[in-house]
Amino acid sequence: MKAMEKQLKSISKYLSYILRHNPGAIGLALDDAGWAVLDELIEKANTTVKRLDDELIRLIVETNDKQRFSISECGLMIRANQGHSIEIELGLLSIVPPKVLLHGTAEKFIASINRDGLRKRNRHHVHLTENASTAKVVGGRYGKPVLLSIDAEAMQRDGFEFYQSANGVWLVDEVPSQYISTDYV
């Protein structure tokens, strides 16, 4: 079972790279909303070192703990739900966020965040969550985790727009430092 889990994780990372950052690496075209034709993805990926098929991709989409991908209603297309560094239009509508949202980061980034806030950098949005355990895991990827509390209610009142991706991740263009408080995990 461990071998299968390792294979699924490896393919999920590969799909994230292709669908979020570099479809051109395999000559894949995405539409303006980030959708790729599933059969084309399989065909082009199979010309590289990855061996994919429809069943394997659908298993990854269904079982990925972060729900990173979606299959279209027609079942013929796939896309990453968020986290793109390439220009796409997710078609999300601005919605009212909960009063407080969370962001996990590593302790070594706190001075920069206190000075500059949270910036999307090379991605489309800053990612936020309502789930403390998710934020802690994200924060722990690069060092000692720190949980940031975001006053989303005040941000929204001050004109910031929030979106929520298909997998429940909250998205915003930036979080200025005055809306952030720090909790060490």
> Could you tell me the residue ranges of all domains in the chain?
2-80, 100-184
For residue range 159-184, list pLDDT tens digits in order.
Answer: 999 999 877 889 999 999 999 998 65
Element housing 36 (H / E): strand 36-37
pLDDT confidence of 112, banded at 50, 70, 90?
very high
**Residue range 48-55: mean pLDDT, rounded:** 82
Domain covering 100-184, topology: ADP-ribosylation fold (3.20.170)
Q: How far apart are CA 26 and CA 49, in angstroms?
A: 11
Mean pLDDT of the chain: 89
Range with the poorest average pLDDT among 45-49, 98-102, 141-145: 45-49
pLDDT of residue 184: 55
pTM for the full model?
0.68
Fold category of 2-80 in CATH: Arc Repressor Mutant, subunit A (1.10.10)
Q: Is residue 38's pLDDT more than 60?
A: yes
Topology alike, domains 2-80 and 100-184: no
**Residue-level pLDDT at 183:** 64
Rounded Cα–Cα distance for residues 151 and 185 (Å):
18
C-alpha distances (whole Å) from 90 to each of 1, 113, 125 are 35, 27, 11
Please state the length of the chain.
185
Burial classification of residue 153, based on how many CB atoms lie within 10 Å of its CB (0-12 exposed, 13-18 middle, 19 or more buried): middle
